[in-house]
Structure 1
Amino acid sequence: VAGELENTVFELTSPARLFDIRRITVVADTTGNHLAEAEKLSRLVERFRTEEDAWWNDVLIAEMIALAEKTGDVTRNPVALKATTYDQGNFWTAHFGGIYIFRDLDHPAAISVGPKEALGQLPVRYVFGLGDRNQIAKFLEINDLAEPIVSAPGADASAILRQKMDFIVVAAAAELGLDIGHGSRRDLRQAAAALGARLPEAFQGLAALLRWVETGGPWPRITSAHPSYFYTLRAKPHADRDLVNMLLAELSPLDVRQLFICHKELFYHLYRSWPEAKKEYVADYLEREYQIDKAGARSRLFGPEPAMEETPAIPGWSRPGRGDILDAVGPWGAVRKERR
């Protein structure tokens, strides 16, 4: 079964036209057009039953037989998929190099994957590029869209941080042609030791945060300018959770698990250029750790699915106060010296 997206915008002559898209209709059919053919056959069957002298209409009977060979017996096994229409306020599009459009927020913005200057005039005040890390961090904070993994309810922060660090080690080792063995935790520790000072800054930042989580070490000052910053966040439970996690995956592409779950198009684009050792490790990991329990993995990483309500916040979850750790992580707040 394949789906087709329909909307009322028939041409995109400029990025600004994307903001005219408000309602999406999903029309489903099989790749062989079986559903459309089945609907046509149903109409012919109704004609055959109701028209006078239909038994002697050879053309009608021949057309019914030809369609039935494709669709089967639709009178006994009717097949129908209803078109689904829904409003889409915030979304990502691959058009114009890739754009994240957040317009239905208190502080709307557009985030461009390519050069933001190429977008021209847009009907929102703020337009960022992926390199505008401080602005994107502030945008996520003032719209209450993201939370630190270390303070996220129900998250096993240690396990999540360690796995992110493993992915970074694999990427760095594979680029330098270092052996990662079978990719076990022991093999990756040895690879990390061999890399030493060549380990990326993103790894160093996550390692410092892990020490704070596990041993009560000093609170690391990780601002939005630090390469590890967006690796430390996940979307809060709200209607745009998947979109925000998709954006965070693009901002932290070495976390291949989140990239695969949240942004498959980018995952497969990057996969083609990876060294063979990294391809092999990632494919084995996803098959072994993710594919066997997709729902469980998503819940552990991103929390339970948000309630399908007009008010997306889960009851009992309040907005962060001034002392929330998100303020401490970002460049707009004070650094917390002690572990709480």
Structure 2
Amino acid sequence: MQRLITAGLMFGNLIRIDSPALIERYNRALKHLTGKTTQLADFHVDISGYAPEVGDELDDPLYLNPRGVNRQFILLTTQQKTAPLLNAKFSSSRGILRQFIETNETALFALTARDAVAGEMLNSVYDVSKPARLFDIHEIRIEADTTVGTVRDAEKLGAMVDKFKTAEDGWFDDVLIADMITLAKKTGDVVRNPVKLQQMRFRQDNFWTAHFGGLYIFRDVREPALIQSVADPLPDAAALPVKSQLRLSDRNRIAKFLDANGLAEPIVKARGIDAAAILRQKMDFIVVDAAQDAGIDLAGATRRDIRMLARQHGDQLPEAWHTLNRLLAWAEGNGVWPRVSSDDPAYFYTLRAADHADRDLVNMLLAELTPMDIRQLFICHKDLFYRLYRDWGEAKKTYVVDFLTREYQMDKVGARRALFGHDAPMSEPQPEQIGPWGAVKR
């Protein structure tokens, strides 16, 4: 894993904390939330304030996420909004935290100038020992304040100011005035510089959770379903409030689920992307996987080298590669359209999420269904990427790190837009071509 860390592909974009003042604030917040402190002189935090070094020191990787629900957080700087979320138990957690920081950025900037902000992502569930409890999660709300209660005191002072202004005898209430002065020493001038965090609530309808080996829960769709990553049956599955319970091996049923709810679309039908380039790259990844199994050295391999391997060992490549090759030929106008059913090993490699609110969740599911596509796996499902990486051979590890460093790290936004963007193409309308999924613009 050290190779990933060195390349910035693991623990990348964490915020370094080495100032004694910030460490002292962190310890106050950590003591406030967990009753623990750190003795480290420097460490790195993610968007929630979790530090892997502190987790190692405390021998508790969930010290800010007890039982994997109601994640706590420590904010030392608003710069944390760009950091990743480590050890995520729910797919929506990072997005919620980032939205909270961005919405309250001005207030948080002022608050973190003097203290740490500690908080918690709350829902009505405190234990998920049974999968049915996950279906009791419907809304996430955030509670946050400094370790000395600045936000609470500011609200109290604001109420005092209102009373002072509106009460008939407010100007003569010496006790009220004295209390206002005392609180103002802690909070500052809340009239000119209001210190208030917006109360925010977030719906939690469709999400992924790491609990029970990984579950995708879709409730706010036309045909709800639960999709589990592991083959073992869930405990008390009969008690779950969803009829359609699928496993990743249920390819036909998952394909029907995605289609019935309009959650995915064929890559060659998507607008605003270079479908042929995406298909070629997926084919290269499949070649790399096959080369690893064959013991072929991939050190320094270029795209030209990978495609030469495909020509030399075409008869040894899996069926998924050949299906994508036929689809590529059709997309480039050099072949007839292939019939790609959900039984075909390449089927999910030909899809991406449609343009809807849960597209990141669907792309995450598709990444798990297409593990040879290491780029989508890294972008959409890092937890699974890291787990699979441990078992890859050295040749594939070297290729993957080199590829992601060269092709993804250089322009993350551009790479994501090229793969998952839904912008209309800036070109003249092209004639329609009939293909496996109907008329396609190309």
Q: TM-score range by the shorter chain?
A: 0.7 to 0.9
Amino acid at match of 1:91: F
Q: 1:123 to 1:78 in 2, by over 3 A?
A: same
Q: 1:26 to 1:170 in 2, by over 3 A?
A: farther
Q: Which moved more, 1:127-136 or 1:191-200?
A: 191-200
Aligned to 1:5: 121
Q: 1:27 to 1:260 in 2, by over 3 A?
A: farther
| Structure 2: segments with no counterpart, 5+ residues | 1-46, 49-72, 74-119, 158-176, 425-432
Residue aligned with 2:356, SS: coil
Amino acid at match of 2:146: A
Residue aligned with 1:218, SS: coil
Match of 1:161 among 259, 279, 302: 279
Q: Shift in Å at residue 273 of structure 1? A: 1.0
Q: Which moved more, 1:210-219 or 1:82-91?
A: 82-91
Amino acid at match of 2:317: L
CA distance in 1, matches of 2:330, 2:241: 43
Q: 1:20 to 1:194 in 2, by over 3 A?
A: same
Mapping of 1:228-307 within 5 angstroms?
228-304=346-422
Amino acid at match of 1:17: R
Q: Shift in Å at residue 299 of structure 1? A: 1.3
Q: Shift in Å at residue 124 of structure 1? A: 1.0
Residue aligned with 1:114, SS: coil
Q: Which moved more, 1:237-246 or 1:188-197?
A: 188-197
Q: Which moved more, 1:294-303 or 1:154-163?
A: 294-303
Residue aligned with 1:5, SS: strand
- TM norm structure 2: 0.59
Q: Deviations over 1:44-74 (max 9, x none)?
A: 9x9xx956998xxxxxx9xx9xxxxxxxx99
Figure out how many residues of one structure are paired with residues of the other and give that number: 291
Q: Deviations over 1:212-255 (max 9, x none)?
A: 11133121122111111000000100011111111100000111
CA distance in 1, matches of 2:357, 2:142: 19
Amino acid at match of 1:244: V
Mapping of 1:113-262 within 5 angstroms?
113-115=229-231, 117-119=233-235, 120-121=237-238, 122-262=240-380
CA distance in 1, matches of 2:304, 2:440: 31
Amino acid at match of 2:128: L
Q: Shift in Å at residue 204 of structure 1? A: 1.3
| Structure 1: segments with no counterpart, 5+ residues | 29-34, 55-60, 65-72, 306-313, 315-322, 330-335
- TM norm structure 1: 0.75
Question: Percent identity at matched positions?
Answer: 53
Aligned to 2:82: none
Q: Shift in Å at residue 117 of structure 1? A: 2.9
Residue aligned with 2:409, SS: helix
Q: Are 2:204 and 1:94 aligned? A: no
Q: Shift in Å at residue 115 of structure 1? A: 2.4
Q: Is the 8 A contact 1:218 1:338 kept in 2?
A: no
CA distance in 2, matches of 1:78, 1:167: 53
Residue aligned with 1:11, SS: coil
Q: CA RMSD in A?
A: 3.4
Residue aligned with 1:239, SS: coil
Q: Shift in Å at residue 179 of structure 1? A: 2.1
CA distance in 1, matches of 2:256, 2:242: 16
Q: Is the 8 A contact 2:151 2:197 kept in 1?
A: no
Mapping of 1:289-328 within 5 angstroms?
289-304=407-422, 328=436
Aligned to 1:18: 134
Q: Is the 8 A contact 1:7 1:25 kept in 2?
A: yes
Q: 1:27 to 1:286 in 2, by over 3 A?
A: farther
CA distance in 2, matches of 1:53, 1:223: 73
The structure, 1 or 2, with the larger RCO (C-alpha pairs under 8 Å, 6+ apart) is 1
